[in-house]
Every structure is written in C-alpha cells, then in structure tokens.
Structure 1
C-alpha cells in the first residue's frame, strides 16, 4: 500500500476511497500524534474545521468533528470557507489544529482532508507519516469532561475578508472585474472582498449546490470567465478553484493569464515596493521556461522545487524568501498568508493594474510563454517513471533534439492517478509532437 498522504493531504473518491470511518480515524490519529508531540501541553486543545461546498463534505465534516471531539479536542466549525481562510483562522483563533475538507480543483465526487498546524502551515511529511502509522492502533479515549465540545464559529467570513483588505496597497476603484468562484468555497468571500476593495464586481460560478463545484467553471475551465469578461466589458477576470487556493486570470480580451505570468507581475510589484526578499521567486519545475528567462532579464533569481505548493513553501521558509508559487495558480505571499491564497492573489494582481494604470494584458507581457504541451496519461504504473529504461531512452532522445530551445518533464501526479508528460519547444507543433511521442512510450512502457 502506498503512502496515504499525497502532496496535498488525503484525497480520493468520497465514500469509496475517503470514507467517514477513515476521516474519523485520521482525525483521532492527528489529535493523538499532536498530543504526544506536546502540541496540547498545558491547555485544552482546540481545532477549527472548514470545508468547501461539495455534498460529501457534510458527512465528512461530521466524521472529522466526531473524531476530534472523541479524542478530547474542542472543535470550532467554520462552515464553508476557502482553504487559506482556514489556515489563517487556525493561527488567528489560536487553535492547535486546522482541518480543511476539500478536493480542490477535482470534480464533485472527490474529496480530501488536509491538516494545518497551529501557525497555519500544512503539516510536515514526518508528522503526516506518524498520523498514518497511528491509524487503527490501540488507544484509550477520554470520558466525561475529557471529551471535546463542539460549537459553530460566527463572523469567520468577515474576519478573513478584513484581513485580506489590510494587505492591499491601493484601492481597486475604477476597475470592473468578473470573478468566477467555481461554485466553490470562495462564492461569498471573493465577491465581498473585491467589492469592499473598491471594484465593480460581476460574479459567476457563485451558486454552489454541493454537486456543481468546478463543473465547467473556475480556474480549470476559463472559457465561461472569458466570455463573461467580454460580455460585460470588464477590465479583467479572476478565477478561483474549488477551495480557492488558486487564482488564474483573463484579460479584457479574454486571453488567459496563467500562474507564471501572475507570479512575474507580482514579483516585479514586490521588488518595486522593496518587499521581495532576496530578489528571489520560488517556483516549481513546471514553471514555463519563459518565466525563468523573464525573471533573469529583470535581475531576479528563481529557485526551483518539486511540484506542489507545499514544497514551494518549504523552500521559502528554509531560505527566508517571501514569494513563490506554481503555474497552476497557487501563489504564496508569505508576508500575508501561510499557503496559496487565490482571493489574496487576485486582489493583488488587480492592485497592480490599478497602481500602474496599465491594462492586465500589457502587464502580462513581462514574460513570453514558450509553447508548452501537457498530456496526462492514466492507467499506468506511476511508480516506474524513474526506473523504466525505455522511458529514460525516449526522454534522452527528445531532450537531445530540443537542445537549449526547450525541455521535457515527466512526473507522476501527486494528487491524481496519472503520469504527466510536459514538453516545451519553440513551436506548439514541436511541443505537441514530442509530448505525444513520449505519452505513447509511457502507455507502453509503464503498463
């Protein structure tokens, strides 16, 4: 059996892979491990629990709350809130543990559990391993006054929105914005924050029914946002994913502005304000080569990590950097958040437009994206990506053909059962052809 925790918590098909008993057991194990590590020493422990709107979150929330309370932890239910809001409130409310129920950008049938420590950071790999090892082991639950108590939070949305607004350098007055909330966790927070920041706001994807999260909307489906921006004559569009830890954007013409472009714009804004630590941006190996070239030409450094915002964050904390992210739209502004925050990112991207007086499409020209093709290959053995001689030989051949004009990256997904094949090349045709050739090798060599 593989490691239960992936790059972003425990995730799977709700009620099949991620069941109520598993959710309860994980919560009990987390409480036990943190308690044994001294996290609760000298006080009665408190956890906050939030979720996105998907239907399965209702029974999984009940299971998590039951598990924590049975382990002697008081629980404050936050309700439907973005993942970064749960991280922020874990720290602000002086909780010992934060729990978020979400499968992020995945479809509605999936769900997931991620844990935050008392500072609002995702738990370290070693702590997750200890939680997994504690599953199903004997323990003595508390009784009587020792069991946890459960209550609902009040004012959590207001508290989080107020925090977001304190980070903004300028008003968004004069900007007309379309925001796509993916029928997810930001459906209330994002429009409210944008309006209070001064923008004129048009909202789409803000009618969650438990089943329509990420369904043809949000950061993984930008066509609806682009259409709405053009229809309403907006200056820009902002899209979150289901749990709102991602942000992508579109220009007034409906052209996509991806995470690399957003990072490039915000890195220059931070440098201009004298707030970019070490003149360095932390990005993953998936960032476009054009991003790295643009940062180099601007005199900024780029530090690369493995894919996953947790690894970006680990590098930032280890080396004292305060800005980084992923092409997918996870952008971490460490001076204001402990995790990727899509609403925060959107606010600051629009603030760059307002401050500069330049349209988003002009700001996005800070970098030129090299044509990039990503092919996802399912139903193969992800564990053999680095050991297959046939695949290694195919990669070497493609890299030799591209030389310094492109690159190849093949990796197992950390959140879904697939292998991702990415190729960058001087033209879309070259990138597409190379990616398909390599995908064919993956399909045959990793069966």
Structure 2
C-alpha cells in the first residue's frame, strides 16, 4: 500500500486526512496524465456524504485545469462508475465514497479504462505529485481548458443495463430494499419498480450525514425487523456506495455473502455456467460454505481478504463468480467489481427460476459459529511468528480437526493480530480464541 492510497483508494476523515487540496491534485494529475496525446475524458460519481460535493468540485477543477473534460454522474454507485468507464470509452473513472464508513469519512477510488481498480504504479505517481516530488504540471490555456459535463445520462444507461439482466418479471413479489441512505437510493427502487416488484424501501432519504447510520448492510437487524413487520418475500441491504449486498429471507434471517456465493454458485453449476465448477472466496469465508460446496461438487479458491484479490484470482483463472462474506460479490460476466444491486438481481434470478424461497435455497449451508478477536501488539510479524504462539495455534487446529478451524492473521492497516475460530458452538470458539490470546499475553507480545 502507498502513503495515501490503500487497497480501496485514498480514504480518511474529510478535511482531516483527505482534503480538497488532495482532491484537486488528484484531478490535476489524472487530467494531465491521460491528456498528453488527446483530449482526456474522466467520469466522476459520488455518494451522499456532505463532503462528496466538495470533493467532486475539487476533482473537476483539477481535471479541467489540466485540459481534460470531467463528466459528472452525480450521486451514483461505485459499480455504475466502473460500468460507464469501461463501456463508454472514458480514460478513467473516479468514485467519491468511503463505502461503509461513517459519514464524516470520505474517499477517492480511481478506476482505469477497463473498469478495474487503478494500477498501483499510477497511484504511486499521483502520490509523488501530491508530495511535490515531481515538477509542477502545465496548466491548460485558452480553448484547451477542459469543461464539466452533466452526465446523468450515463447513470440512466446503467439502470437500463441492470433492468436488462433480469430473466423474469418480479410481479407480485414483495421485495424490501435498505438503501443505507447512500448511493443506492438513486437507482435501486427504479430498477425493482421497472421489473414489476411491490417495492418496499427504507433508509432512502439521505441528508448528507445519515449514510450507513444504523442502516444498510452493516446494520442488517433493521431490515430483518422490517421484513417481519411487512411480511415481505425477500429483502436486500446495500452499503454506502452499493458495492455490497446482504440479503434477508422471508423469515427475517440473514443471508450473507457466503450464502449468496453458494446459492448462485450451485445454480450456475446446474446451468452449466459456473466456469471450472469453481467459486473464489477469501480466507474469511465460513467453514460451512466449504462443507456445503464439497457436497454439491463445487470447487473453491481461497484468497487474501479483499475483493481486489478475489477479482485478480478470477481473471487469472477465468472464473465467473467470487466474493466475500461481507457481501462483495463479483459476477465477472456482467461486472469487474462488486455490485450490490446486480448481486440482488442474480439472487432474484435463482429464486424466480427455481420457484423456491430464499430460506429453502440457503438451508443446505450450516454456518458455523465464528468468533474473531483483535489483539493490539507491538510488532505484528514478531507476534505472528513467535514459536509459542505458533505452537498454540497448531494445538488448536489439531484439537478442532475437521469440525472447525483457526485463522490468525495480521491486520493490513493497524498494529493488530486477528484471531478467529470457527467451531460447532460459541463456547468452543471462545475457549480456543482466548487460549491463543493468553499465550500472546504470556509472551508479552500484547500492548494493551
């Protein structure tokens, strides 16, 4: 990871970590970088945070000052920016969002012309410019100054694309949507209404400060209660920029990313459409998913945590379905990134085509209890490789056998070791997690 750009863009508290000066310089560099041999075109989307407008204008000012044109999608989802960038011949795209973070955070995600996350080497060049390590870039003059273009039409084409993917009408289906007071509010209801659903929407009145606040995929209990109260057939919750989706079945039970991978993976396999009969997961996926996949004859890959790594594996091996427990699901036939609304439509395809409830489709997966604890340490590598800690982890793995697993990994952003155990009961999980942490404490590796 770079100084500013992490695995999911440049992110931090608005005007504290990420400032308008940063945004202006990002725009200046991108406008110059892509505009050296032609009139560059950059498309920008944003979520509903108060600060997103500020960053949109700063980015557009930088882009146009360098001589490129900035096309504004306004409030839209991250996957829509990816879609528009790759299908409408833009040099790159920018999404202003901090995803599932609180409203006072924000971020700048840069997307390359193919709709993928920007290459690290380009982000490194932007960082060098921000820090004044390269010379000042030339300003465009006279007729070469760029312009901003209202491009709501691009977002509308994305909505049409989503609608076109549905295989059946949703007529008479009572479907709930939790838009997290974020990007999905401008798109999700339009899609479901067009497909004939009886659409029930909550948390779709953003005010700039309520994005992700007790709503959306990170607070799924709100939608669970709503499903029970309104007697809905199915419901979906999105996060702030709508690249995640968590489902809720007709009984108000959560169907997370692991269950969605299984339901869609099994369906695609039955259709002969699951490349290599394989899904791509991360190491955080539940043991229950793997056991169910074994029974269904579905193979699986495991990557490091992060949809970036999932997608890299999918591209390398030509797999068509992958994702994370958190609800980042990638259907590579239709998208190059996680897309919450697209994921909900793919789940609806299975429900409609198989004529089964979501609870019935998910019942074959027995989700194992999982307990994860974070331990602050002085040095992550030292703590992870300590011989006594390694011995304790091996002992737990041996004791669990095929009926559970232990995972100990370093945080990518904090001085933290994450200790996770999956087993038949919460009590067993708690016992073994604490057993390993106690060894860390005895070895004086823990700072608090």
Interval containing the TM-score (normalised by the shorter chain): over 0.9
Could you tell me whether the CA contact under 8 Å between 1:49 and 1:86 is conserved in 2? yes
Cα distance per residue 1:316-357 (max 9 Å; x no partner): 111111111111100001111110000000111122111111
Q: Does 2:191 match 1:193? A: yes
Answer with 184-193 or 66-75: which moved more: 66-75
Could you tell me whether the CA contact under 8 Å between 1:380 and 1:442 is conserved in 2? no
Residues 400/350 of structure 1: CA separation in 2 closer, same or farther (3 Å cut): same
Could you tell me whether the CA contact under 8 Å between 1:175 and 1:354 is conserved in 2? no
Cα distance per residue 1:65-88 (max 9 Å; x no partner): 222222222100111101001111
List alignment gaps of at least 5 residues for structure 1. none
Could you tell me whether the CA contact under 8 Å between 1:87 and 1:116 is conserved in 2? yes
Could you tell me whether the CA contact under 8 Å between 1:181 and 1:239 is conserved in 2? yes
Could you tell me whether the CA contact under 8 Å between 1:382 and 1:446 is conserved in 2? no
CA distance in 2, matches of 1:106, 1:412: 21
Match of residue 269 from structure 2? 271
- Pick one of 57, 61, 66 that aligns with 2:56: 61
Cα distance per residue 1:97-137 (max 9 Å; x no partner): 10001111111111111111111111133333333334322
Could you tell me whether the CA contact under 8 Å between 1:108 and 1:211 is conserved in 2? yes
- Pick one of 46, 66, 76 that aligns with 1:71: 66
Match of residue 126 from structure 2? 131
Q: Does 2:98 match 1:103? A: yes
Residues 2/128 of structure 1: CA separation in 2 closer, same or farther (3 Å cut): closer
Match of residue 22 from structure 2? 22
CA distance in 1, matches of 2:98, 2:303: 23
Match of residue 359 from structure 1? 357
The alignment's C-alpha RMSD in Å is 2.3
CA distance in 2, matches of 1:182, 1:407: 33
Report the alpha carbon displacement of residue 314 of structure 1 after superposing the two structures with TM: 0.8
Report the alpha carbon displacement of residue 170 of structure 1 after superposing the two structures with TM: 2.1
Report the alpha carbon displacement of residue 196 of structure 1 after superposing the two structures with TM: 1.3
Could you tell me whether the CA contact under 8 Å between 2:176 and 2:235 is conserved in 1? yes
Match of residue 343 from structure 1? 341
CA distance in 2, matches of 1:143, 1:439: 58
Q: Does 2:314 match 1:316? A: yes
Could you tell me whether the CA contact under 8 Å between 1:52 and 1:82 is conserved in 2? yes
Could you tell me whether the CA contact under 8 Å between 1:227 and 1:254 is conserved in 2? yes
Residues 110/440 of structure 1: CA separation in 2 closer, same or farther (3 Å cut): farther
- Pick one of 233, 236, 260 that aligns with 1:235: 233
Residues 255/380 of structure 1: CA separation in 2 closer, same or farther (3 Å cut): farther
Could you tell me whether the CA contact under 8 Å between 2:328 and 2:340 is conserved in 1? yes
List alignment gaps of at least 5 residues for structure 2. none
Report the alpha carbon displacement of residue 372 of structure 1 after superposing the two structures with TM: 1.2
CA distance in 2, matches of 1:442, 1:108: 36
Report the alpha carbon displacement of residue 183 of structure 1 after superposing the two structures with TM: 0.7
CA distance in 2, matches of 1:112, 1:173: 38
CA distance in 2, matches of 1:415, 1:170: 43
Match of residue 205 from structure 2? 207
Report the alpha carbon displacement of residue 148 of structure 1 after superposing the two structures with TM: 2.1
CA distance in 2, matches of 1:439, 1:19: 39
Counting only pairs closer than 5 Å after superposition, residues 172-191 of structure 1 correspond to structure 2 as 172-191=170-189
- Pick one of 86, 108, 111 that aligns with 1:113: 108
Report the alpha carbon displacement of residue 308 of structure 1 after superposing the two structures with TM: 0.5
Report the alpha carbon displacement of residue 378 of structure 1 after superposing the two structures with TM: 6.1
Could you tell me whether the CA contact under 8 Å between 2:72 and 2:152 is conserved in 1? no
CA distance in 2, matches of 1:417, 1:27: 32
Could you tell me whether the CA contact under 8 Å between 2:31 and 2:64 is conserved in 1? no
- Pick one of 277, 285, 288 that aligns with 2:286: 288
Match of residue 156 from structure 2? 158
Cα distance per residue 1:257-302 (max 9 Å; x no partner): 1100001101122222222112111111111111112122211210
Report the alpha carbon displacement of residue 8 of structure 1 after superposing the two structures with TM: 1.0
Q: Does 2:214 match 1:216? A: yes
SS at 2:349's partner residue?
A: helix
Match of residue 9 from structure 1? 9
CA distance in 1, matches of 2:46, 2:411: 23
